[in-house]
Structure 1
Amino acid sequence: MYQLKLLQLLGIHEYENSFYLEINLQLDEEAHVFWEVDSETALSLKRVSDFSNEHLYRLSFHTNNNKSSITKHYLDQSTRIEFTCSDQYIEALTALKQLEAITELDKLPFISRKLAKNTSQEASQMLESEVKDGSVPKTKRKLSWLITPLLITVLAIFTAYTGHSILISASTLPSGEALWVDRPSADKALSLEEEQVKEKPKTMLLKENITIVENHKTPYVELIEDISSKLPKGMVALTFDDGPSQFTGEIVDILKEFGVGGTFFTIGTNVKQYPEQVKYIAENGFSIGTHSMTHANLAASSKSKQEKELVQSSEAIEAITGEQVTLFRPPFGAMNDTTTRIVTSHGKKTVLWNNDTRDWETRNAGKIIQHIKTTDVTGSIILLHETKATVDALPAIITYLLEQDLQIVTLR
Structure 2
Amino acid sequence: MRARIARLIVDRMLDQVPVRAVYPDGTVRGRGGPELRIVRPDAMFERIARSPKIGLGEAYQAGDWTAGEGTDLGELLTPFAARVAQLVPRPLLKFRRLVDERMPRRQRNTPTGARSNISAHYDLSNALFAAFLDPGMTYSSALFEYAGQDLEEAQRHKVERILDQAGVGAGTRLLEIGIGWGALAITAARRGAQVTGITLSTEQLQLAQKRVADAGLTNRVDLRLQDYRAVTGSYDAIVSVEMIEAVGAEYWPEYFRALDRLLAPGGSVALQAILMDHERMLATRNSYGWIQKYIFPGGLIPSRTAIDETLAHYTGLVVEDDHRFGADYAETLRRWRRNFDTNWPAIRAEGFDETFRRTWEFYLAYSEAGFASGYLDVGQLRLIAKDQLSGSENIESTTRSLPGASAR
Q: Mark yes or no: TM-score above 0.5.
A: no
Higher fraction of helix: 2
Structure of greater Rg: 1
Task: State the TM-score, normalizing by the size of structure 2.
Answer: 0.30
Task: State the TM-score, normalizing by the size of structure 1.
Answer: 0.30
